């Protein structure tokens, strides 16, 4: 990545941001570049190796939504910053109740949002799962 940034700098291309999904290898790369995503030392940027300007790191929102939905759907329970559990079963129960009474709340969540595995790449489903 440093070599690419250097070549871009040599070509007078200005790089302001680096955007990626949340894979471990990307976080490792960001750390090697000088960024830090530890909550105690958050530094979501690094100095461009060629120009010494700041390059900000942006986690791709679409990928992050899908990763959150996939993690919750697969693990069934995750915890917020106060260790309060967030359970997938609540989403399942909401869909079940809506289907049983035939009344759908303002949410767009339906069975296809719960059984998302065949449509994992659909950002809209992930966004609708967490909306409202």
Residues 12-26: tens digit of each pLDDT: 999 999 999 988 999
Half-sphere exposure of 28 (CA within 13 A, CB side): 3
- Rounded to the nearest angstrom, the gap between the alpha carbon of residue 91 and the centroid of all alpha carbons in its chain is 19
Residues 68 and 104 in one domain: yes
**What is the per-residue pLDDT for 95?**
94
Res. 127: pLDDT tops 70: yes
Residues 21 and 55 in one domain: yes
Question: pLDDT digits over 48-73, tens only?
Answer: 999 989 999 999 999 999 999 999 99
How many domains does the chain contain in total?
A: 2
- Domain end call among 59, 86, 106: 59
Based on C-alpha coordinates, what's the Rg of the chain? Answer: 20
- Rounded to the nearest angstrom, the gap between the alpha carbon of residue 16 and the centroid of all alpha carbons in its chain is 20
User: For residue 80, how many other CB atoms are within 10 A of its CB?
Assistant: 8
Res. 132: pLDDT tops 80: no
Question: pLDDT digits over 70-119, tens only?
Answer: 999 999 999 999 999 999 999 999 999 999 999 988 888 999 999 999 99
Token match 């595995």: residue? 117
Residues 80 and 113 in one domain: yes
Residues 122 and 106 in one domain: yes
Residues 54 and 93 in one domain: no
- Domain end call among 30, 59, 88: 59
Residues 77 and 55 in one domain: no
Question: Which residues form the domain of 95?
Answer: 62-130
- Rounded to the nearest angstrom, the gap between the alpha carbon of residue 107 and the centroid of all alpha carbons in its chain is 21
Report strand pairing: 54-59 vs 45-47.
antiparallel
State both tokens at 45: 């940027």
Q: Give the integer Cα–Cα distance in Å for 25 and 95.
A: 36
Residues 52 and 97 in one domain: no
Residues 89 and 125 in one domain: yes
Residues 67 and 121 in one domain: yes
């Amino acid at each position: 990545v440093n070599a690419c940034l250097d070549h871009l700098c040599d070509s007078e291309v200005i790089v302001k941001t680096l955007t990626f999904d949340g894979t471990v290898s990307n976080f490792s790369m960001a750390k090697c570049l000088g960024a830090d995503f530890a909550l105690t030392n958050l530094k979501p940027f690094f100095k461009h190796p060629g120009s010494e300007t700041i390059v900000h790191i942006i986690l791709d929102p679409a990928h992050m939504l899908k990763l959150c939905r996939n993690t919750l759907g697969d693990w069934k329970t995750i915890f917020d910053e106060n260790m309060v559990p967030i359970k997938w079963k609540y989403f399942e129960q909401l869909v079940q109740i809506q289907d049983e009474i035939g009344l759908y709340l303002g949410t767009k969540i339906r069975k296809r949002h719960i059984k998302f595995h065949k449509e994992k790449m659909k950002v809209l489903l992930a966004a609708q799962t967490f909306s409202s």
